[in-house]
Amino acid sequence: MYDNVPGRIPAIQQINLHIERGEIFGIIGHSGAGKSTLLRCVNMLERPTSGTITIDGEDMTALDSRQLQVKRRKIGMIFQHFNLLSSATVADNIAFPLKLAGMSKAAVRSRINELLELVGLTDHARKYPNQLSGGQKQRVGIARALANHPDILLCDEATSALDPQTTSSILSLLLDINKKLGITILLITHEMQVIRAICDRVAVMEGGHVVETGKVLDVFLKPQHAVTRDFVGQVSDLSKDSSADGPTAALEPSAMPRGTRVRITYIGSKTYEPILFQTVKSTNVSFAILQGTISSMKDVPYGQLVVELTGGDAHEIQEVITKLKQEGIDVEVLSS
Amino acid sequence: MNMTWEINWAEIAKATGDTLVMLGWSLLFTVIIGLALGIILFLTSRGQLLQNNAFYGVLSLIVNILRSVPFVILMISVFPITKALVHTTIGVKGSIPPLVIAAAPFLARLVESALREIESGVIEAAQSMGATPWQIVWRVLLPEARPGLIAAVTVTAVTLLSYSAMSGVVGGGGLGDLALRYGYMRFRTDIMIVTVVTLVILVQVLQSAGDRLVARYNKK
């Protein structure tokens, strides 16, 4: 997808992604993985040497510079370091894309007020960026990016320069915008929390390639690639035994009777049901929870437990596993 | 040494006026040409919007050559150009073309480096919003670099003032001319001192006005 001249290493190659209208799609990767290059290819800030980028059926690589300028007005972008005009007030920063598009003064003024309200900065219109906090600067960036009613919002590490609290407030603003305005959001990040908080689908990048892609819950609960497990590990300790064959040594009290170790995963409303208990109740099998997480991803609750099933015979244990599966719970036998 | 202190103040006043006229006109043309050259240098340099290595290389070389020739030599060597432009090579009029030719490349470099101070991300953001290169120059580069540009113009104005004094050597008029003809050639130390003090005051006024403007527009 990028320069193939010998001696020049392509920044990204052989990437094939399809992003649905209205979804929040995350791209996660370590620095140098090529995610930033990929994002910049979407609005042609970087021009790919081969391949195409198609938005709404329109091939971006085929546009001339005038067409591209018009098209870019419908693709908002926010940045890690905000990239605001330091010489302009908050209102003038938001007005910038409107003036570029040639909007009348009166229309600009009313649009600025709408946007200030949307991002909660109505009282700061006359301030300069250096008088604002990082979170407020990013809100200005978001207002500016949304000014021309874009269909797509590109987020380039938009929360990486912010503290955790500010990050979550910016993320909920993005989620809000996605829901209210139906804007497709494509974001890149190196933080799994960001993906978990707002993304619908995720692609994991490494060395210029996409190594894994899928729904966030699937990727999160069953990471396939080592890099993905790494990222999942940022937000959960489940990954430790996802990568190994069994629970970690810390969960290996010597006195414990060896039973059948399984990892069970449940998603959605099942999280709140006493399925595990009800399944074993009528049998001789009992269980001990060795490790577990119950949380939610975006707004979907999920749980993942590593349990040891003891008592009863092999047959009974097998029956419990089958029953659990019938309930729609994912069961993976780790050791028996 | 003759320290009679019989100074012809009217002559001093006229010379000061001449110097200010020279400074004003040459600064005006220097800013127009130097700003344009500086913007072109910046835009065509590596990694910028209109990167063009060959064009940048040639322009950069010309700017360097003009900047390395001592002003007195430059002034004499551009006599034909001066003559063609203003039909004389002496007096206030005759000094303006060489002053502009010497100072514009100087300002161009200062403008180029002031523009380099702008974070590339800000330019990228403007591009992402669909700004044309022209819009980026007017709406991003010039406003964002304004304090740096004002400082550059201030330094250039002071340089022009000292160049204009030098143009007295070839009959350029103004305070430099006065200092040279009376102060140096006729040993009138009193006139020399008065002209030098006047120049010092002018520099002070220019510099503090520039500093004040920089402070006013600096929002960083």
Does residue A14 fall inside a structural domain?
Answer: no
d(CA B123, CA A45): 11
Arithmetic mean of pLDDT, A263-285: 84
Residue B144: CB partners within 8 Å, gap ≥ 6? A85, A86, A87, B118, B122
Q: Based on the domain organization, do A205 and A91 belong to the same domain?
A: yes
Q: Are strands A58-59 and A209-215 parallel, antiparallel or unpaired?
A: unpaired
Q: What rounded mean pLDDT belongs to chain A? A: 88
Residue B169: CB partners within 8 Å, gap ≥ 6? B72, B75, B176, B180
Arithmetic mean of pLDDT, A60-83: 94
Chain A within 8 Å of B130 (Cβ-Cβ)?
A: yes
CA nearest to B145 within chain A = A87
Provide the pLDDT confidence category of residue B4 given band limits of 50, 70 and 90: low
Residue B22: CB partners within 8 Å, gap ≥ 6? B92, B95, B96, B99, B164, B167, B172, B173, B174
The answer on pLDDT for B87 being more than 80 is yes
Chain A within 8 Å of B68 (Cβ-Cβ)?
A: no
Arithmetic mean of pLDDT, A5-9: 58
pLDDT given for residue A251 in this prediction: 53
The answer on pLDDT for A243 being more than 50 is no
Last residue of a domain, one of A235, A270, A305: A235
Going by C-alpha positions, the residue among A243, A213, A249 that lies closest to residue A230 is A243
> What's A328's DSSP letter?
T
The answer on pLDDT for A170 being more than 50 is yes
Q: Based on the domain organization, do A246 and A227 belong to the same domain?
A: no
The answer on pLDDT for A4 being more than 80 is no
Q: What is the ipTM of this complex?
A: 0.85
Written as six digits, the tokens of A31 are 């620095």
Give the tens place of pLDDT for each residue, B173-183: 888 888 888 87
In this complex, the residue of B129, B143, B217 whose CB is nearest that of residue A100 is B129
The answer on pLDDT for B101 being more than 50 is yes
φ and ψ at residue A225, rounded to 5 degrees: -95, 150
Give the tens place of pLDDT for each residue, A12-71: 888 899 999 999 999 999 998 999 999 999 999 999 988 899 999 999 999 999 999 999
Highest mean pLDDT among A99-113, A299-313, B156-170: A99-113
Arithmetic mean of pLDDT, A180-203: 95
CATH class entry, domain B15-217: mainly alpha
> Count of CB atoms within 10 A of residue A209's CB?
15
Quote the minimal CA–CA distance from A178 to chain B in Å: 19
Q: Domain containing A219 — which CATH number?
A: 3.40.50.300
Q: Is B118 helix (H, G, I), strand (E, B) or coil?
A: coil
CA nearest to B147 within chain A = A87
> What's A287's DSSP letter?
E
Q: Based on the domain organization, do A227 and A254 belong to the same domain?
A: no
Chain-centroid distance of CA A140 in Å reads 22
Q: Domain containing A328 — which CATH number?
A: 3.30.70.260
- Please state which of the ranges A18-27, A160-169, A288-297 shows the lowest mean pLDDT: A288-297
Boundaries of every domain in chain B: 15-217
The whole domain housing A314 covers 239-335
